[in-house]
Amino acid sequence: MEKTYSGMNLSANDINNYTKYIVSHGAKVTGTNPMVVDTGLHGIVLSLCFNDKTKSLLVKVIKKNFYVPDSAVFNEVDKGIEKIKQQLSAGCKL
């Protein structure tokens, strides 16, 4: 399953800063664009690909434990994206 997040006016620097944030919370990140994020939770591994031209972020579920529904994964991703949007709209840098 995959989902595209757009309309956030993100920059590559914002994505890099967010990557540092998720690593500081235990995730393992490899690659740059696309990057692979091993969350360390329930076998969930994501692929994140940022399109600088459209300022959109494509998130794909690469792997997860069988008991974790895609909807639960994207519910958590949505929460993280919403936090990014709130910080950017408040004028904060990630």
Domains and CATH numbers, the chain: 2-89 (3.30.310)
pLDDT at 12: 80
pLDDT at 94: 52
d(CA 80, CA 74): 10
- Report how far apart, in Å, the C-alpha atoms of 57 and of each of 2, 65, 67, 68, 86 are: 10, 24, 26, 22, 16
pLDDT at 92: 63
pLDDT at 31: 93
Give the pLDDT of the chain (94 residues) as one tens digit per residue: 899 988 777 788 778 777 887 888 899 999 988 999 999 999 999 999 999 888 888 999 999 999 999 999 999 888 888 877 777 677 665 5
CB 21 within 8 A of CB 30: no
